[in-house]
Amino acid sequence: MKDILNVFKSMGDETRAKILLLLAHKNVCAKGIAKHVNISEAAVSQHIKVLKQNNLITGYKDGYYVIYHINKDLFQKSKDFLGSLINEDLQDYKEKFDIQEFNILDCKTNCKSMKKCCKKRLEEEK
């Protein structure tokens, strides 16, 4: 599950998101990434380091250059996770995150402030 969370954390940076969009389209070396994204090679190197550490991209040596490409399997897992959120099919993830079912009565007994949200729902359920 940590790998999926790392996808979202890594994509939180606009430049890394641009790099991933480029690599989704074609495999590119660091020099090509710098040219397409319009940043320095040193900056690309730092972003590549983060993306590689989180397994979002991998690279292979082609002569003098390392050619980078996205980890499609990891992005598919992330897509499946988002699909689960949309379809409310969360059972697998509830177990992985140890999330309990929401029970409005638990909220009544555990909530110190019992503000508008729970109080209103309790009244509607009566």
Strands (E), the chain: 28-29, 57-62, 65-70
- Structure confidence at residue 80 (pLDDT): 86
pLDDT digits (tens, 9 = 90+) for 27-68: 999 999 999 999 999 999 999 999 999 999 999 999 999 999
pLDDT score of 10 more than 90: no
- Indicate the pTM of the whole model: 0.71
User: What is the radius of gyration, based on Cα positions, of the chain?
Assistant: 21
Closest CA to 8 of 91, 112, 78, 88: 78
- Structure confidence at residue 110 (pLDDT): 64
- Structure confidence at residue 105 (pLDDT): 55
CA atoms of 94 and 92, how far apart (whole Å): 6
